[in-house]
Structure 1
Amino acid sequence: MNILLLGGTGDALQLARQLDPRTIYSLAGLGRVPQDLPCRVRVGGFGGAVGLAGFIRAEHIGLVFDATHPYAAQISANAAHACAQTGVAYWALRRPAWQAGPGDDWREVGDWADLTRALQAFRRPLFTSGREPLAHLDEIPPQQHWLVRCLDPHPGNARAQILGVRGPFTMDGERALMQQHDIDVIVSKNSGGSATEAKLAVARELGLPVLMQQRPTLPAATRQFFDLASAAQALLATQNRP
């Protein structure tokens, strides 16, 4: 069976490494493109749900597997719609969200305006929420200095430093980063998974609040998986089906 694997996450890359050339691994192209995969790699958008449906038909795709980021709501919506149009199964890996525990000071925020209001009480935020802050570097209040961590390098300015680095991150590394930059609040998406969870443990240890951005609502899938091992097992079994 030809499989379209929608990726861009560490989980998706682990799946792609196990699948053969009947699988097309699709990336938006915002980060590094792996060169050593046994499956095919496609980079770029599809042109919405209609374009994706056309691609599914042209490539004789029998299964679309959504392993995109939990906050990549638009591509997930397009995939669900395209699969409904073409009658193709739509499976998804839905990484469980992190849960606040004793000692955590998590404050849920919604859109950018909501986040900006919540940040007014702080001076030195650490953004670990992707590329969105890069579009607002000219709006930084005079009392604040931002430290923005995202996947790829980007120019900062007098009030912002950009770190282009990739996880996984360790407790020691996160602690050193926060203390070196005198961080007083963490901005995070509730992505789940272990690769970037250390920042939350360090925030708890240092007594730092976390502004946690709400998860978007994602479409229902024909089958949903909540851990990487079961997703890999199901994909391999499907790929090898006569």
Structure 2
Amino acid sequence: MKDFHSGSIQTKASAKILILGGISEAKKLAQQLHSSGFSLIYSIQGGVRKLKADYDVAAGGFSQYSDTDSPKDSSLSGLINFIRKNQITLLVDATHPYADTISNTALETSKRLNIPYLQYTRPPWNKDELTTAPLFLKVQELSSYEQILSVTQEFNRLFWAIGYNSISNLTHKLPSHQRWIFRTAKETSAEDLKNLDQVATGIDTIKQIGPFSVEHEIDLFQQKQIDALICKNSGGNFNEAKLKAASALDIPVFLLKRPNKIAANCQYSSIETLFNAIIARI
């Protein structure tokens, strides 16, 4: 057995794990731990679909548990309250590579409460692999959307696979000659559509929930006459459908570089290695 923190010896029965999820590997880890007899809570934002699981699931973010009136501090306050109430002894961050805000909040929470923090980081796509066989993609990776916009002026119909929150902050920068098409898994409300001002700004919104086949993506790109694909370097299987479709149609790809997640020496790039690290702590 190993100490979780000073003065406390943990066993499998007394340990309770909070997994911050949102990607497929996080669900795999949760299932592995549950099957191995560990008590856990799996947390997701919950804006797209409800997760059916044999273990406890918390959805909707942590601001709902906050006792502060400050929106800036609500997530931190809520996570601290949630961990205390549920007697969490280990915090595992397996969020999306671009979810840097919740990762920073989780790390700060672990420091304040003196509980271990472990982070899974999905390996990014390797540009060399994307630009060679079998995909032979034309790829540029840039540090900001502003940089991406500066090198995509020659294109007319851009497909943004980046999520609603990101695109909604960019609409005022749309060049007059371009039309932007973006896909969201969330239901767009009347207020969303008003904010986007779709007709005036030249933006098409497609509501679809994946996974998508290569054939589906090719049909969509052809139907919308896409001539540039913009997406995040989410990592995982680089043969995913939208990249294969871009390869088949010779559409250039513009990747947004990842934010730097602060994880010190608690970062893992393999779910199996992370699982073993959790086991070793108990």
Q: What is the 5 A alignment of 1:34-113?
A: 34=51, 36-43=52-59, 44-46=61-63, 47-100=74-127, 101-102=131-132, 103-113=136-146
Shift of 1:140: 2.9
Shift of 1:229: 4.2
- Counterpart residue type for residue 254 of structure 2: L
1:84-124: per-residue Cα shift (whole Å, max 9, x none)? 22221111111000112323221222233223323322110
Q: Structure 1 residues 29, 196: CA separation in 2 closer, same or farther (over 3 Å shift)? A: farther
- Counterpart residue type for residue 257 of structure 2: Q
Residues matched between the structures, number: 238
**1:115/1:211 contact within 8 Å kept:** yes
**2:91/2:110 contact within 8 Å kept:** yes
Of 37, 42, 48, which residue of structure 2 is paired with 1:31?
48
Of 6, 12, 30, which residue of structure 2 is paired with 1:16?
30
1:178-230: per-residue Cα shift (whole Å, max 9, x none)? 12211110001000113882222332332221111010001125543323444
Identity of aligned residues (%): 32
2:14 pairs with 1:3: no
1:139-180: per-residue Cα shift (whole Å, max 9, x none)? 533311111012223247232221222332322222222122
SS at match of 2:89: strand
* CA distance, structure 2, for counterparts of residue 2 and residue 224 of structure 1: 20
Match of 1:134 in 2: 168
Q: Structure 1 residues 68, 222: CA separation in 2 closer, same or farther (over 3 Å shift)? A: same
* CA distance, structure 1, for counterparts of residue 239 and residue 114 of structure 2: 36
Match of 1:168 in 2: 211
Quick check: which one's helix share is greater? 2
Q: Structure 1 residues 13, 166: CA separation in 2 closer, same or farther (over 3 Å shift)? A: farther
Match of 2:5 in 1: none
- Counterpart residue type for residue 216 of structure 2: G
- Unaligned segments of structure 2, at least 5 residues: 1-14, 64-73
Which structure has the bigger radius of gyration? 2
Match of 1:212 in 2: 255
SS at match of 2:211: coil
- Counterpart residue type for residue 117 of structure 1: S
* CA distance, structure 1, for counterparts of residue 266 and residue 114 of structure 2: 14
* CA distance, structure 2, for counterparts of residue 189 and residue 31 of structure 1: 19
Q: Structure 1 residues 127, 190: CA separation in 2 closer, same or farther (over 3 Å shift)? A: same
State the superposition RMSD in angstroms: 2.6
* CA distance, structure 1, for counterparts of residue 216 and residue 269 of structure 2: 28
- Counterpart residue type for residue 154 of structure 2: A
* CA distance, structure 2, for counterparts of residue 163 and residue 51 of structure 1: 33
- Counterpart residue type for residue 209 of structure 1: P
Normalising by the residue count of structure 1, what TM-score does the alignment of the two structures yield?
A: 0.85
2:186 pairs with 1:186: no
